Amino acid sequence: MLKPYFSKLVIRDKLLVMQLAVLAVAMLIVFIISVAYQYLSYQRELMQDLNAQMTLIEDNVGSAIAFEDSKAAAETLQSLSINRSIDQAYIVLKNQTQFAGYYAGNHQYRNDKAVKAITQRKSGIHLNRPIMVNGQQLATLYVDANFDKVNARIQVFAFALFFAVTFATFFARAMSKRLNRVLTEPILYLESLVTNITKFHNYKQRSNIHSADEIGALSEGINSMLDNIKMRDDKLVEELKHRIVVEKKLDQLAYVDSQTKLPNRHAFTEYLNKCTGEHQACFYLLMLDLDFFKVVNDTHGHEAGDQLLTQCGQRLRRILNGDDTVFRIGGDEFAIVIKAVNVIYDVEKICHRIIHSISQKFMIDGQEVHIGTSIGIAQFTNGCSESNLIKYADVAMYWAKSAGKNTFKFYSEEVEQANYHHQKLTTDLQTALKLNQFELYYQPIVNVQTSAIEGFEALLRWHHPKEGMISPFVFIPIAENTGAITTIGAWVIQQAIAQIKVWQEQFDQHLFMNINISARQFFDKRVVDIVRKALSDSDVNPNTIHIELTESVLMEDVEKAVGILKQLRALGAGISIDDFGTGHSSMSYLKQFPVDTIKIDKSFVRGLPSDSVDTAIVEAIFALAKSLRFDVVAEGVETKQQLDCLKLKKCTKVQGYLFSEPVPAQTIESYLAHSSKLTYQ
């Protein structure tokens, strides 16, 4: 109950309370012992006094008893009246009769036959003594006494002692209070010191107590602790300064690209997040990818590539305004955030300046280097997230690359829809072959002079269950990118070879089939085995099978392409170069390729006979084919004028809508069954 109260006291009061408690207990013990001792002393004095008086009575009443003078005996007993502690005294003879007596106050005669030598009662004391005369007991003297005088004296003594103890206690309290200050003031001083240090964090303060006792040791301990804290704080300050320097360096490493000294991807992410979080009214994100950078890197080395990146960063910085920021986000990719523009026209001007600047020559180790850049642009709108904004700009940048590079494209909803459509087609393409959604169409290749069908070009079509017929220009690039072209291409080879075998047996054994092979399929190590197996399964004459390849496919890896072409020729298959004149082949490469036929691209045929340039190109192709002993097929013949012009150029074979568009196998069979010749459409 008192513990909570005691715990709230300050140490000075606690010490005083404990001292007073100890003093009180000690005084109480002294008081009790003193009173008890004094009480026993008073009793002892009373007993001694009574015994002395009884001895005196015994000496004086012996003769009175002997002479049976009870009156004289009574007078002798009457002398006891001077002792107020005696209540009564009487003499009892041997025959137990009272001989004489003395009674103080209201005490009456009593005949107590059961009296002992000394009987101590609650109310007093009872004494008896034999009265002897000449060695014989004549009677017995009885005395009854009280403790009134003893009690009165002990009360006076107890009161005096209590007063003395109380005075001593108060005096001790006053002395303790003063003496306690000697002990508690240093403790309070240390407590105040620690409180101030804790409150104001001033660790320079020190205790000035230097005594040789425990408080002095405590003072030294506190000073030592403060010294250690100060040393630690000083060390922490030094470490903090060092950490700030290190953090600045780390920030520079974390936020600055070491090569170009431009802000890096980390800085770009934070900056873009800040811009989108602040809901800027209008800003544009430009994603740049350097065109032909890999060529420079592979040709001139990585050091040259690093120098090129640094110079590109410098040019981009010079182009931009103060509010615009350029970042290098990795490899040959840069990002630019353009603010303070109100119309797309301003962004277009900046993009034109960027493209023009990057297109200018770079001097790398004394050599001229030329590159370009493709730019994708996305405009921030409220609700557009950081990740979506980057994705939109990336999509637009890939559109710019697909459009021929070194240009820029804006992201739009149409792009998003096209992307969704592209993704859906990519997914559906994975199961199209299993679901028999592919079909081969065939376009006849016709003899110019006779209009007779001499062969066909197999063209793949995709019957989508929801979107209908999908153009090869749409799904073939998807198949290339996903790798599905290898499986689809193998199916095309098997189907086309099997189909021409059927038509050869039904109509004309000299009919041939041209089969297009894409770049990825051509460079697949299994392509020769696939063609070999298809030829073996159909037991067709290999000379009636022509593999069509574009110039760009052959130029990807000339040495490897020559090896594959030779293996195909070894099987007996012919080789045709499709879309001739649109690629990058040269005379030296054409001599290396084991080619049978070149097909003039329809872009050159379209201008015949009015376009002099197209006419000159076609004539040059015929001259080249003649010198290299190649057959020539003209593609995309749509008018009689084009056909007549080609006849004049000694062209032997054509294909195009003038005779027939690509049609299913059933339609081809009806052509062949009706007549081997085709009339103009």
Can you give the pLDDT at residue 575? 95
CA-based max dimension of the chain = 204
Residue 350 confidence (pLDDT) above 60: yes
| Distance separating alpha carbons of residues 359 and 341, to the nearest angstrom | 24
Q: Omega before 662 cis (within 30°)?
A: no
Helix (H) or strand (E) holding 309: helix 302-319
Residue 291, beta-bridge partner list: 372
Please indicate whether residue 571 or residue 301 has the higher confidence score (pLDDT): 571
In Å, what is the CA distance from 320 to each residue of 354, 394, 509, 535? 9, 20, 69, 62
Residue 115 confidence (pLDDT) above 50: no
Helix (H) or strand (E) holding 265: helix 265-277
- Give the least confident one: 62-66, 284-288, 565-569, 665-669: 62-66
| Distance separating alpha carbons of residues 326 and 223, to the nearest angstrom | 57
In Å, what is the CA distance from 112 to each residue of 100, 109, 228, 612? 14, 10, 92, 175
- Closest to 497 in 3D by CA, of 513, 517, 486, 516: 513
Can you give the pLDDT at residue 408? 93
Residue 247 confidence (pLDDT) above 80: no
User: For the domain with range 265-411, which CATH number is right: 3.10.20.10, 3.30.70.270, 3.40.50.2000, 1.20.1050.10?
Assistant: 3.30.70.270
pLDDT in tens, 593-632: 899 999 999 989 998 999 998 999 899 999 988 888 899 9
Distance, CA of 644 to chain centre: 75
Can you give the pLDDT at residue 291? 92
Can you give the pLDDT at residue 415? 62
Please indicate whether residue 665 or residue 398 has the higher confidence score (pLDDT): 665
For domain 8-154, which architecture applies? Answer: 2-Layer Sandwich (3.30)
Can you give the pLDDT at residue 69? 84
- Closest to 646 in 3D by CA, of 625, 677, 628: 625
Q: Which amino acid is at 285?
A: L
Q: Are strands 284-291 and 333-338 parallel, antiparallel or unpaired?
A: antiparallel
| Distance separating alpha carbons of residues 389 and 329, to the nearest angstrom | 15
Residue 489: which pLDDT band, with cuts at 50, 70 and 90?
A: very high
Q: What is the pTM of this model?
A: 0.48
Q: Can you read off the two tokens belonging to residue 284? A: 């544009």
Phi, psi of 129 (to 5 degrees): -150, 135
- The C-alpha angle 618, 621, 623, rounded to 5 degrees, equals 110
Assigned fold of 424-674: TIM Barrel (3.20.20)
Phi, psi of 614 (to 5 degrees): -60, -40
Between the CA atoms of 515, 518, 522 and 527, what dihedral angle is there, to the nearest 10 degrees? Answer: -50
Residue 491: which pLDDT band, with cuts at 50, 70 and 90?
A: very high
Residue 677, beta-bridge partner list: 452
Residue 494 confidence (pLDDT) above 90: yes
Residue 131, beta-bridge partner list: 139
pLDDT in tens, 296-341: 888 888 899 999 999 999 999 999 887 789 999 988 999 999 886 6
| Distance separating alpha carbons of residues 429 and 269, to the nearest angstrom | 35
Residues in the chain: 681
Q: What is the mean pLDDT of residues 49-76?
A: 84
Helix (H) or strand (E) holding 291: strand 284-291
Residue appearing with tokens 């192709």: 621
| Distance separating alpha carbons of residues 649 and 600, to the nearest angstrom | 13
Phi, psi of 104 (to 5 degrees): -90, 135
Phi, psi of 101 (to 5 degrees): -155, 160
Whole-angstrom Cα Rg for the chain: 65
Please indicate whether residue 120 or residue 208 has the higher confidence score (pLDDT): 208
User: Domain-by-domain residue ranges, the chain?
Assistant: 8-154, 265-411, 424-674
Phi, psi of 151 (to 5 degrees): -65, -40
* Strands, E assignment, 30-135: 86-93, 98-103, 118-120, 124-133
